[in-house]
Amino acid sequence: MSAGRSFNFTHAIVRIPSRSVVKGLTSVDKGMPDADRLLNEHLAYTNVLRAIGARVTVLPRLERFPDSVFVEDAALCLGGSAIVLRPGASSRYGEAGMIRPDLEKLFATVIDLPGPGFVDGGDVLASDSELFVGLSARTDANGFEALKAVAEPLGYAVRPVHTPAEILHFKTDCGLLDSKTIFSTEALADTGCFSGYRVITAPVGEEAAANLVRFNNSVLVTAGYPQTVAKLESKGYEVIVVASYEAAKLDGGLSCMSLRFSL
Ligand code: GLY
């Protein structure tokens, strides 16, 4: 296990949002996203990744898959290996097959998660040594067992955790800050699922900031959550604020819009 492998990265993959993104899945009506604004926010997000050291592969839009901008759900990248996942929403099944050829161009090893279960990448939080896999409406017990069988030989313990019913993905409510520290909503932290780790909680009222992204020395935080920024900066983290208002209307957070890895 190499220290920092969960956030020291050289590469990222993003996918340009389709025009059909306005028909993406959503659990709560937060208004229709604006496709042009989402595209602009996505471009800015991609440029931030470049600025902090990512060599970014930009995949073309997929009109058939409205949620395909949320590229994190279709694959899991662990070191030099990529696992092609099985997204759990029927409208998203095909996204895994679409990304496979792109993963083959980058990774020495590409592994298909065996069926019949389902795993969305948004339900998987990776630390240096361990995967937290949130069982959810998208990620089931069969998917968990399949991922465990694939990830353990890659050097990861695999911990089943519960995704609260009111959120879409496990990582809707948490993000990794460093090898030993997780940022989480109080509600999720209170379940005890992060035992063995230090937890910093999102300020009350700023729970939507919990889905942050640590990439090299920077922590990307969604715009609109000043107390979160102040709290993280007071603890020594270098924060970059990223606008993601339109993706949020589709339950999309900052982590959902990229795959991050080191080659
Ligand atoms: N809109 C993101 C998802 O449901 O997967």
Yes or no: say if 63 and 19 are a contact pair by the CB < 8 Å rule.
Answer: yes
For residue range 103-144, what is the model confidence (pLDDT) as tens digits? 999 999 999 999 999 999 999 999 999 999 999 999 999 999
Ligand 1 centroid from CA 69, angstroms: 9
Catalytic-role residue among 11, 169, 174, 193 = 169
Query: Best of 23, 67, 211 to mutate for ligand 1, by most ligand atoms within 8 A of CB?
Result: 67
Ligand 1 centroid from CA 233, angstroms: 30
Whether the pTM exceeds 0.75: the reply is yes
pLDDT of residue 29: 87
Stretch 7-24: mean pLDDT, rounded? Answer: 97
Nearest CA to ligand 1 atom 3: 25
For residue range 188-200, what is the model confidence (pLDDT) as tens digits? 999 999 999 999 9
Provide residues with CB under 6 Å of ligand 1. 24-26, 67, 70, 73, 89, 168, 250-252
- Is 10's pLDDT higher than 70? yes
pLDDT of residue 79: 86
**Average pLDDT in the chain:** 97
For residue range 161-189, what is the model confidence (pLDDT) as tens digits? 999 999 999 999 999 999 999 999 999 99
Question: What's domain 11-261's architecture?
Answer: 5-stranded Propeller (3.75)
Catalytic residue list contains 162: no
DSSP code string of 198-244: EEEEPPTT-GGG---EEETTEEEEETT-HHHHHHHHHTT-EEEEE--
Integer Cα distance of 124 and 77 in angstroms: 11
Catalytic residue list contains 169: yes
Nearest CA to ligand 1 atom 4: 25
- Is 1's pLDDT higher than 80? no
Ligand 1 centroid from CA 169, angstroms: 9
- Give the phi and the psi of residue 42 in degrees, each rounded to 5: -65, -40
Amino acid at 100: R
Ligand 1 centroid from CA 251, angstroms: 6
Give the atom of ligand 1 at the shortest distance from the alpha carbon of 24: 1
- Is 212's pLDDT higher than 90? yes
Query: Best of 23, 93, 168 to mutate for ligand 1, by most ligand atoms within 8 A of CB?
Result: 168
Residue position matching structure tokens 């306005």: 22
For residue range 52-71, what is the model confidence (pLDDT) as tens digits? 999 999 999 999 999 999 99
Domain residue spans in the chain? 11-261
Percent of the chain exceeding pLDDT 70 equals 100
Alpha helices in 2-110 (DSSP H): 35-51, 95-106
